[in-house]
């Protein structure tokens, strides 16, 4: 009985150490939850910017101007239109981590269908040291800028 308990304890300690090592390597600075996100623009599969934030309305003159509120918590990324109160909730799950980026699987579920895509979070190479997230789903790419919380 003592040998079984000792062996079980050793296995539990080994698994705990492995979990600790795996979690220490996660790029926490690239986690979606660890940022305040601002919508920048969305473009279709042809590269046309179809909507943008107010800061970019003079750059993308033919795009619809929208004011989105963005928040992420516990595997859900919510984008709300401040004017129309339309809300879009994306589920995200970690897929792949790299030193420079974190890739997530994205799902957008409606009553009629489930759309799948990816989100990539990366550090922006600029003087502000910000972050970028691009969600690509159903032929659209949606761009966000982020700052650490």
Rounded CA separation 74/41 (Å): 24
- Residue 146 pLDDT > 80: yes
pLDDT digits (tens, 9 = 90+) for 2-44: 344 333 333 333 333 332 333 334 457 788 888 889 999 999 9
Rounded CA separation 37/148 (Å): 9
CB-CB contact of 49 with 65 (8 Å): no
pLDDT digits (tens, 9 = 90+) for 93-114: 999 988 889 999 999 988 899 9
Tokens of 82: 């401040």
pLDDT digits (tens, 9 = 90+) for 43-91: 999 999 999 999 999 999 999 999 998 988 889 999 999 899 899 999 9
* Of 149 and 128, the one with more pLDDT: 149
Rg of the chain, C-alpha, whole Å: 20
DSSP 10: H
pLDDT confidence of residue 33? 87
pLDDT confidence of residue 117? 96
- Residue 129 pLDDT > 70: no
């Amino acid at each position: 009985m003592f040998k079984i308990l000792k062996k079980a304890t050793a296995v539990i300690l080994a698994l705990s150490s492995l979990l600790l090592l795996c979690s220490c390597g996660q790029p926490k600075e690239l986690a979606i939850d660890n940022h305040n996100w601002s919508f920048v623009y969305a473009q279709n599969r042809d590269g046309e910017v179809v909507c943008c934030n107010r800061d970019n309305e003079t750059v993308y003159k033919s795009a619809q101007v929208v004011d989105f509120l963005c928040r992420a918590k516990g595997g859900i990324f919510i984008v709300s239109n401040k004017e129309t109160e339309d809300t879009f909730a994306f589920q995200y799950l970690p897929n792949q981590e790299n030193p420079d980026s974190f890739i997530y699987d994205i799902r957008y579920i409606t009553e009629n269908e489930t759309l799948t895509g990816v989100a990539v979070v990366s550090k922006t190479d600029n003087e502000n040291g910000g972050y970028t997230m691009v969600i690509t789903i159903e032929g659209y790419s949606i761009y966000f800028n982020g700052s650490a919380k």
